[in-house]
Structure 1
Amino acid sequence: MKTIAEAPLVEQHQANDLEQADSEALYRLGLLSQQNGQLQEAEKYLTAAIQAQPDMVKAWFSLGNLRFSIGQFKTAEVAYRQALALQPHLVTIHNNLGYTLEKQGLVNEAIACYQTALEIQPKCIEASINLGNALHAQAKLSPEQQAYYSDLNEQLGTARLEAGDVKTAIAYFRQAIVLQPNSVRATYNLGVALSKQDDLEQAITCFEKVIELNPSYGEAYLKLGQIYYIQKQLQKAVAAYRQGLSTINPCYAKAVEADFEADIAEEAPVTPPITKGEVIVGQSSFPAIPTLPNTGKRPFWTVILPVYQRTEYILDCLAGVLAQWPGEDEMEILVLDNASTHPLFDLVNSIGKGIIKYYRHPENLGVVGNVNIGLALSRGEWVHILHDDDCVYPGFYSQLKQSLLNCPPSVGAAFTGFNYIDEKGEKVSNGDIVSVYGDNKGILQDWLQEIGVCGLIAVPAVVVKRTTHEYLGGYCPEIQGIDEWEMYKRIAVFYDCWYEPEILAGFRVHPHRETSNNWLSGSLPKAIRRAIEITETYLPSKWNAEITAKSRRHNFNYCMQHAIIPLKAGNLAATFRILQEALKIDHSSEAVVKLFEWLNQNEAVHLREQIISKLILSCFLY
């Protein structure tokens, strides 16, 4: 397996300035060509760099890596040996030379290189792994040593998997299994890595092997459930999810068993009538959330899943909650179906029957209306809204509850760190809140000044005390798509907010998300403008002017960045609407200058005159 260091070495001291500049430029061109897959060009540039400066160690090293990558092991060996002649104490070169020799069948020489690397740096895990693998090939490892080197391979495989280097991770996991065929952890992680490469059949084989080795490994069942659902094998998916959840969560197992024994056929319940009212905050009205009668113990949590039509992610989303379900006395789960054409009752019930309360509205209430109905129906002390394409990670509810039970009554909402994830659930980036507050756990200082300018948190990471909604109302239907931001600002004006920095939720970014559609239609900037105007009526006078001005500047730039989305889609009308609303958000001279700079970019050049004439006619430039 490949344990070759790829990173360029630290630059060496050059003899004179001219040679340094020339050789350095050639070296960088070589690296760039290699990154772009232009391997012949890369070799040409690296060779030229060496000719210009024969003692450039990093160029010899990179040339060795390049030749190794294309299977030229003998010439790679020459390059590595030349680098070591210049700088004999570089661990990575000894390690890479060893693996190159091993590829040529020179195992004893390879072992000597690995041992030299470890003499220089005893904790070099790559050299340790390569040494163990080479000794294993010669049948020189005891069972205890095989277990040790298997663990090392698994650890490095996990590190490469987390870094996104799936191919190398797979090689490490396979070698770990060669050394320890019954390694549950390595087999499970191999399945995870293979599924990331869409090699689903091999992944299934791995997860089935894990279950054979350890029938209590619930996560393997859940992974099988995900794969079967992707393959549209619904019965297999449901069975795997149920088995996995029963294995992981005794509360779930008990509830499912009781429901199975009852086995009563059900029809999809219709949403009960809700008394409507309004709450006035500032100069705006919001839907009232009714208070609850004092009728005894209430659950700590209500989890609300608003759903409509989409089925791609719902089982996985529900599984993430059900795995943490602490029983009906502690958590109620509500699924609110917004009049889907084909009711989602059977799908939800397939893994949540006896636990989840499902309601289907007779007519579509809109995205915001659906959420507000969920708030009105909720009984929990704290409410968590979780859209079906988002997810929570293990520990979300227990960790938040532990903090919330000990926080002062001034706290009206809380949120965790979160990741942006893609359609496959892979991390794209850290959520915005992570970069602003880092590991600062507790009540956030100056939170209103931050959230007042832009939305730093995402729905799946947020929980709100029900009494907060009873006092301030629900979400504003007028500003769909940006209603959460306005709600979080409203809360920040009247309550403290608690931050739990651990990454415990995932917000999925994909083309079918409502927000993406709102940018394509050009409707979101109007909602942003109205959110700023609404908030301006209730912000504290001390901060109102500063927060509003910063918010207008920030969101003008935000709109300009996203105007390219409908423009690239050929939707001139939506592009114009975004620009028009952006100038309503901020019509300062600085904003107008930025608009003209935006119009000078390549994508907008051929539409510039049309857009300018439209803006002039609509009297937004004056």
Structure 2
Amino acid sequence: MLLFSKTDMNTISSNLQLAVQHHRANRLAQAEQSYRQILAEQPDHPEALYALGMLAQQNGQLAVAEQFLSAAVQVQPDSVKAWFSLGNLSLAQEQFSQGAIAYRQALALRPDSLPIYNNLGFALQQQGLFDEAINYYQKALELKPDFTEAEANLGNALHAQGQLSKEQQIYYAQLNHQLGVARKQAGDLKTAVAFYRAAIALQPDLLDAHYNLGVALQEQGDFEEAIISYQKILELNPHNGEIYFKLGKIYQDQNKLPEAIAAYQQGLKLTNPQYLKAFIAEPGTEKAEEVPITPELPQGEVIVRNYKFPKIPAVAASEKKRPFWSVVILAYQRTDYLLECLASVLAQWTGEEEMEILVMDNASTPPLFDLVNAIGRGIVSYYRNSQNIGLVGNHNTGITLSRGQWIHILHDDDYVLPGFYSQLKQSLEDCSDSVGAAFTGFDNIDEKGVFLSKGDIFYWYGEDRGIIQDWLSQIVVTNPLRPSAIVVRRQTYERLGGYCSELSDLNGWELCKRIATFYDCWYEPEILACYRVDTSWYTNKMSNKLFLTGNHAVFLRRAIEITESYLPTDFCTEITAKARSYNFEYILKRRVIIPLKAGNLTGALRMLQEALKIDRSPEAVAKLFAWLTQDEAAPLRDEIAAKLLAVPGENIPDNIPTELKSPQTAIAP
């Protein structure tokens, strides 16, 4: 038996508190390190063993989790939570017999625990021991009659024995479906799928359960099973156009583009009569069509106060009525999401007099024409640039070609939600001419289309629809918007120019600031657009020259300086100071670490140099020196010290006196 001094125990206690803090804050690596330090001092520490088991399970290391939890119950056999967690781990691995053993141990220690009764019943049910399972479910319901999970599981067990009437089957099907929805909302897809399947087993024609099962399976990446669920819905309701969109998305993710095209076409035909009419009027042809080339456009400049921007000419006079909307979709090389983006817009297309759709292909090889034409034939105008003109050039070319009163620029990996155009039009068609742009709430999604978070604008303004009163003072400091959520009046572009050619990065932020300086902006709070976030963001930024070289900070500084040239003079100094202070810290806390961790000290130093050009106030310099004391800045400290030591100094004689001599008194001749 190991004996510990009071000092040792205090150290272990402190390490445990620190480990728990890391664990609660989701700093899993630090938590594991602290727990293991405890085991190095006390190998049989029950809390550390238990916590490492839970950590391993959280990280998907189920075998390791089992080792730690088994050790925990050996050291502390009266630990209810350790036995219960060991049972849950066994269920996750479909080791139902072992799970039942662990739950029985836990139940012996805590005979009034509802979750233990329920989970033990489930473990027994999965082994076909229905009578025992029913007994434990009923005991749980005796303790808590409204224990929904136990009631649903009881219904499932009774159904397996053929003991439910038709009415009872429908009741328990609804109960299982509700629990599936709740688990899905909690992020527990695996359990949600189990509840949805149970609901379908009870009521095979329950469309909502089939739909939600398909969605959950799709989010899990189980595409083939999701397809089966969606096809079952189509068997029950062949005219459900939304399901074809779901199938199109799956086929798109599988890179089965012909199947994706067919699914999106069918979905659009079923949900949009105008699309069906236009599609029938433009029959396809097996003959290869010539790829349309972007025409030569006039180039010019417009001066806004003291800076020149690319000119957007007015729409040429024509007898043809101008549409309310121009939707400009920017594309280059990528086919991963283009069909989904196009379909989201085409689903809301109500005719050419209401909306024109342009796809600007920035010299993709091969051209994207056939893909666009496959679902946009007769509706979408496709243009391919003869050479790559850069993202900014493609923006401005699309705007110049557009004829709509309001312009929506959409990147090919983003999409809009139902109601985006109709709801915005309802607000904008009678709004004041002072409104030059508008934006909606939006969601951030990942590569699979799974929700990540609401856009920052929601947390700034919530549900306050209308003209934003303090917008300029906010947008000058930082940008909470994403392109998919923004529409701009074409006259605004004609007056203020297009995207700034100097800024290949942060040009959208600069444009928003320019518009806010001269126009009001309208906010539509509903979530009506989706912006796709690359969840491998850090990895991509680590390999992105813009960040590795420090050029991102250069563009950030220039975006601030350009804006400074046109801000109102009575407002400029104060708000620019806020922008400089905020973005200095932004570089220091979130950007300089990228080249630093990649080992690019030159890029990191350039980031700091640009940060000081943005804000060289005493407060900023103090923050910089404070940051340089942190461990992550150690390589930069060494580099700065080396550069200082390498600075050549003046020649200093070796025989410098070590003591000052008394001055000689002058002697008169």
1:151 to 174, 181, 195: 174
**Match of 1:260, SS?**
coil
Residue in 2 that maps onto 1:236: 259
2:513 maps to: 489
Per-residue Cα deviation, 1:449-493 (whole angstroms, up to 9, x for no partner): 221110111111111122222222211111122011111111222
The match for 2:566 is: 538
Determine helix, strand or coil for the equivalent of 2:283.
Answer: helix
The amino acid across from 1:525 in the alignment is: A
SS in 2 for 1:429: strand
Compare 593-602 and 474-483 and name the one that shifted more.
593-602
- Contact kept in structure 1, 2:249 and 2:260, CA below 8 Å: yes
Which residue is equivalent to 1:13? none
State the one-letter code of the partner of 1:154: H
Q: Which residue of 1 aligns with 2:282?
A: 259
Alignment partner, residue 609 of structure 1:
638
In structure 1, the partner of 2:616 is 587
Query: How much does 1:203 deviate?
Result: 2.8
Greater Cα shift, 302-311 or 160-169? 160-169
The alignment status of 1:354 with 2:378, answered yes or no, reads yes
Q: How does 1:548-563 map to 2 (within 5 A)?
A: 548-560=576-588, 561-563=590-592
2:595 aligned with 1:566, yes or no? yes
User: How big is each residue's C-alpha offset from its partner over 1:300-359, in whole Å with a ceiling of 9 and x where there is no partner?
Assistant: 211111222222221111111112222222111111112223221111111111110011
Q: Number of residue pairs matched?
A: 589
Distance 1:258 1:604, change over 3 A: same
Report the 3-state secondary structure (helix = DSSP H, G, I; strand = E; otherwise coil) of the residue aligned with 1:497.
strand
Partner of 1:215: 238
Deviation at 1:49, TM superposition (A): 6.6
**Amino acid corresponding to residue 563 of structure 1 in structure 2:** V
Where 1:506 maps in the other structure, the secondary structure is strand
Question: 5 Å matches for 1:71-470?
Answer: 71=96, 72-82=98-108, 84-85=110-111, 88=112, 91-103=114-126, 105-115=128-138, 117-118=140-141, 123-260=146-283, 266-292=289-315, 293=317, 295=319, 297-405=321-429, 407-470=431-494
CA-CA distance at 1:95 after TM superposition:
3.0
Where structure 2 has 5 or more consecutive residues not aligned to the other structure, the ranges are: 1-23, 25-41, 58-64, 648-669
State the structure with more CA Rg.
2
* TM-score where L is the length of structure 1: 0.85
**Conservation of the 8 A alpha-carbon contact between 1:303 and 1:384:** yes
Deviation at 1:597, TM superposition (A): 4.6
- C-alpha spacing 1:40/1:352, structure 2 compared with 1 (3 Å): same
Q: Which amino acid aligns with 2:551?
A: S
User: Aligned partners of 1:269, 1:159: CA distance in 2, in Å?
Assistant: 50
Seen in structure 2, the aligned counterparts of structure 1 residues 79 and 445 have a Cα distance that, compared at 3 Å, is farther
How far is the alpha carbon of 1:599 from its aligned partner? Answer: 4.3
Change (3 A) 1:362 1:60: closer
| TM-score, L = length of structure 2 | 0.80
Q: CA separation in 2, counterparts of 1:498 and 1:616?
A: 56
Mapped contact 2:282–2:377 kept (Cα < 8 A): yes
Measured at CA, do residues 614 and 325 of structure 1 come closer, stay the same or move farther in structure 2, by a change above 3 Å?
A: farther
Tell me, yes or no, if the aligned pair for 2:52 and 2:68 is still in contact at 8 Å: no
RMSD of aligned residue pairs (Cα, Å): 3.2
Deviates more, 1:594-603 or 1:556-565: 594-603
Task: Give the Cα separation in 2 of the matches to 1:607 and 1:613.
Answer: 10
- Code of the aligned partner of 1:468: T
Q: Secondary structure at the match of 1:95?
A: helix
Give the SS at the match of 1:479.
Answer: coil
Q: Distance in 2 between matches of 1:543 and 1:275?
A: 35
Correspondence list, 1:513-524, <5 A? 518-524=546-552
1:603 to partner: Cα distance = 5.0
Partner of 2:667: none
Letter in 2 for 1:34: M
Between the aligned partners of 1:545 and 1:45, the Cα distance in structure 2 is 63
Deviation at 1:373, TM superposition (A): 1.3
What residue identity is the alignment partner of 1:591?
A: A
* Structure 1 pair 238–599 and aligned structure 2 pair: CA distance change class (3 A): same
Whether contact under 8 Å (2:103, 2:120) holds in the other structure is yes
SS in 1 for 2:363: coil
- The CA deviation string for residues 129-162 of structure 1, in whole angstroms up to 9 with x for no partner, is 2122122112122223323322333333334334
Select which of 22, 30, 36 maps to 2:50. Answer: 30
Pick one of 529, 532, 539 that aligns with 2:557: 529
Query: Which of 40, 49, 52 is the aligned partner of 2:67?
Result: 40
How far apart, in 1, do the equivalents of 2:100 and 2:454 lie? Answer: 43
Which stretches in structure 1 are left out of the alignment for 5+ residues?
1-7, 9-21
Q: Residues 285 and 124 (structure 1 numbering): CA distance in 2 closer, same or farther, change over 3 Å? A: farther
Letter in 2 for 1:534: I
For structure 1, which segment, 155-164 or 140-149, has the greater mean C-alpha deviation from structure 2 after superposition?
A: 155-164
